[in-house]
Amino acid sequence: MDSSSAQEGLRKRPKSSDSDSQDQLTLDTRVVNKIGERNVRIYNLPQRSIRFVKDLVTTLHAIETKVTAVLLASRRTAEGEEIEKNESYLKLENDGRLVLLWPVTACHVIDRDSPLYDVSAADLLERKLEIVITITGGTMTTGQINQARTSYVPSEICWGHRFRDIVEYDARKQSYVAVNERMHEIEQVDTPLCSARQLDMLKKRLQRDVKQDRPASARQESSIIFKDNANSDSEAKTADSNV
């Protein structure tokens, strides 16, 4: 979203009498107004990554901008203790550093080290989790630190979709431009419904069958995993319409 659609910064004013001439205390933490398709995270192949829309841009131009992603989910310890809202940082590409002069996408690759490695599309519907995204940067004029923050829950996730390309070449301006009105448009992509761990295991089985020159026992399973996403989406839309 463009900067004009972000909420105004939260402002806190200290209690004071009429004679008190203290300036108001300004907290430069901006909260994003989440509406409709702005609440989108994308699981995508081949990187099997989770992507965050540029939904957190502040109303000020920022320098040294960095984004962090924290997964809040329950975890059971080896002793059997259940820890609610356990914090796990999601590693982002480029160490989370962004240049907000152009539409950007923060990307977390779901690999063996990712806390989402065992999460499938079905698991996502049942899991209680939340991902908190924070963007921090300084203003170019004063160096004041600004921060934008929002969070996402499973109901705000679109599995098997990606963002459309919104960068176009403008012949009149003889330059590339970003169409901000299409910032939140998404499209379907063929994406397995299994977890990243299951997908890796399936690939190993296929490679082993090919090397041993025998019928690929995993190919039947792959046809189930790569089933038509369009049918799933149509069922979801039908369910939404019945609510």
Strand partners, 71: 88, 131
| Confidence check: pLDDT of 4 > 70 | no
Closest CA to 114 of 149, 155, 69: 69
Peptide bond preceding 192 in cis form (omega within 30 of 0): no
**CA dist., res. 148 & res. 128, Å (int):** 24
* Separation of CA 25 from chain center: 32
**CA dist., res. 79 & res. 65, Å (int):** 40
User: 129 is written with which tokens?
Assistant: 């989790």
What is the DSSP secondary structure assignment for residue 207, as one 8-state letter? H
**CA dist., res. 165 & res. 60, Å (int):** 24
Residue 27 vs residue 166, higher pLDDT: 166
pTM value is 0.61
Do 105 and 54 form a contact (C-beta atoms < 8 A)?
A: yes
Peptide bond preceding 154 in cis form (omega within 30 of 0): no
Q: What is the pLDDT of residues 34-56, one digit of tens each?
A: 443 333 333 444 445 554 544 44
Residues 6+ apart with CB under 8 A from 190: 45, 160, 226, 229
User: 101 is written with which tokens?
Assistant: 């002069």
Closest CA to 48 of 116, 99, 94: 116
**CA dist., res. 205 & res. 142, Å (int):** 57
Domains of the chain: 3-11+27-159 (2.60.40.1400), 192-232 (no CATH)
Residue 102 vs residue 15, higher pLDDT: 102
Q: Going by DSSP bridges, is the β-strand pair 49-52/29-31 parallel, antiparallel, or unpaired? A: unpaired
Q: What is the pLDDT of residues 169-214, one digit of tens each?
A: 889 988 888 887 777 777 888 888 888 888 888 888 888 777 776 6
Q: What is the rounded average pLDDT of the residues 209-234?
A: 55
Q: What is the DSSP string of 100-149?
A: TTS---EEEE-STTSTTTT--HHHHHH--EEEEEEEEEEETTT--EEEEE
